[in-house]
Amino acid sequence: MGMLHVKVWRGTEQGEFQAFEVPRLESQTVLDVVTYIQRKCDASLAYRFACRVGVCGSCAMSVNGQARWTCRTHVSKVAAEDRLEIAPLRNLPVVRDLVTDMREFFDKWARARGQFQGGKRRTDDFARVAPDSRERQQVDAGIECIGCGVCYSACDVVTWNRDYLGPAALNRAWTLVNDVRDVSRKERLAAVAGDAGCHACHTHMNCTERCPKQISPTAAIAGLKRMALAAAVKGEI
Amino acid sequence: MKNDFRARNHPAYWAFVVHRVSGLLLTLFLPLHFWALGQALHGEARFDGFLRWTEQPLVKFAETALVLLLAAHMAGGVRLLMLEFLAWRDWQRSLLAIASGASIAVGLAFLLNVV
């Protein structure tokens, strides 16, 4: 099936693209290509992956300029004229080659109060949440996030404002403020309503466009904006 | 590392660019608008003279562009307000198409009126 012409980022923030030739195979994913290069061409190439089936969220990279989960991205979908340019995710410090330091990404989940805070004890009865309730539907729309960082990498507001919490952390906050069992709604809304929170979003929708799980963080952020506004009017935050 | 145009090449980002650029151009136009209105302070004849100058085809063409900018900026603004204040999912692309269609329609209507 011919050869793929692949350019791979080598180095840290400073570095350059290195060219490789990789045999084109049927049903080949971008992660397959990176793995081939690491195993057959240059064992010093650093990259990150785990599950290979779109569950763990660790293999996201920039492919031909767009952030993608590489394990579920078929070469046939992205390699125009059999050319690939593979780089680390944007908006994150580069550790080496294709590996980014994701600490700030996950720290921001904590800053957005991304932890569930229940009010019941284990001796209490189960919480009953109707699957068709409005809140449950809102949670369902955003709950499948795998924390891959694709949205964070695609977001211009993150580039402009390094403190901005980012689409994934805000989406997580949105799923929690809609969780009827959670008891720290007010504190969470206060945490996401600041200058670096939901109101900083410019609705570019890069996150929604790129999310591999078809989640719309823009919808979640718009929901947070409305909820934060209502809470501020009522004097809650 | 930063994103380049490849990461931004999708309809919603173009809508943002159109909204931002139309806003900036309209801001640049505002002083000219006030200057034109200010001509009325120097008497009727001077203002009428200015209005006759605006009847030139090239000025009319520029006015059409201005109307298109205004329509695009307003439609883009209404789109944003709807995205932010109404509960929504999945129909954001349609909203974008409606906003683009409405602004082009307004621009064409003005052009028809001129011609």
- Does residue B83 or residue A89 have the better pLDDT? A89
Quote the pLDDT of residue A170: 98
Distance from CA of B14 to the nearest CA of A (A): 9
Q: Chain B: which residues have CB within 8 Å of chain A? A: 1-8, 10, 12-13, 16, 80, 83-85, 87-89, 92
Cβ pair A94:B1 closer than 8 A: yes
Bridge-based pairing state of the strands A60-63 and A3-11 = unpaired
- The confidence band for B115, taking pLDDT boundaries of 50, 70 and 90, is low
The two three-digit tokens of residue A154, written as one number: 């695609």
pLDDT digits 0-9 by tens, B28-78: 999 999 998 888 888 888 888 888 988 888 998 899 999 999 999 999 999
A91 to chain B, minimum CA–CA distance in Å? 6
Structure tokens at A115: 């932890």
Report the residue count for chain A: 237
Picking from B7, B87, B89, the nearest residue to A66 by CB comes out as B7
Instruction: Determine the Cα angle at A85 with ends A82 and A91, to 5°.
Output: 150
Please answer yes or no on whether B6 and A205 come within 8 Å at the CB atom: no
Query: Are A27 and A71 in contact, with CB atoms under 8 Å apart?
Result: no
Binary contact (B8, A94; C-beta < 8 A):
no
ipTM of the prediction: 0.88
CB contact under 8 A, B13 and A208: no
Mean pLDDT of A194-215: 96
Please give the structure tokens belonging to residue A173.
């906050």
Q: Which residues contact A122 (CB under 8 A, 6 or more apart)?
A: none
For position B89, what pLDDT does the model report? 61
Report the pLDDT value the prediction gives residue B29, as an integer from 0 to 100.
94
- How high is the pLDDT of residue A120? 93
Average pLDDT, chain B: 88
With an 8 Å Cβ cutoff, are A225 and B84 in contact? yes
Please report the pLDDT score of residue B51 as a whole number: 87
- HSE at residue B114, side-chain half, CA atoms within 13 A, is 19
Q: List A67's β-bridge partners, or say none.
A: A62
Distance from CA of A50 to the nearest CA of B (A): 24
Q: Which CATH number fits domain B5-114: 1.20.1300.10, 3.40.50.150, 3.40.250.10, 3.80.30.20?
A: 1.20.1300.10
Q: Does domain A3-100 have CATH number 3.30.43.10?
A: no
Please count the other Cβ atoms lying within 10 Å of the Cβ belonging to residue A153: 30
Mean pLDDT on A60-66: 98
Q: What is the pLDDT of residue A97?
A: 98
Are B1 and A159 within 8 A, CB to CB? no
> How do the domains of chain B map onto residue ranges?
5-114
Q: Is the pLDDT at B114 greater than 80, yes or no?
A: no
3-state DSSP assignment of residue A85: strand
Per-residue pLDDT, B41: 87
pLDDT at A80: 87
Q: What is the pLDDT of residue A155?
A: 98
Domain boundaries along the sequence of chain A? 3-100, 103-233
Question: Cα distance from B63 to chain A (closest Cα, Å)?
Answer: 29
* CATH superfamily of the domain spanning A103-233: Alpha-helical ferredoxin (1.10.1060.10)
Residues of chain A found within 8 Å of residue B2, distances taken between Cβ atoms: 90-91, 159
Size of interface A-B (CB pairs under 8 A): 70
pLDDT band at B87 (very low <50, low <70, confident <90, very high): confident
Asked if pLDDT for residue B88 goes beyond 80, the answer is no
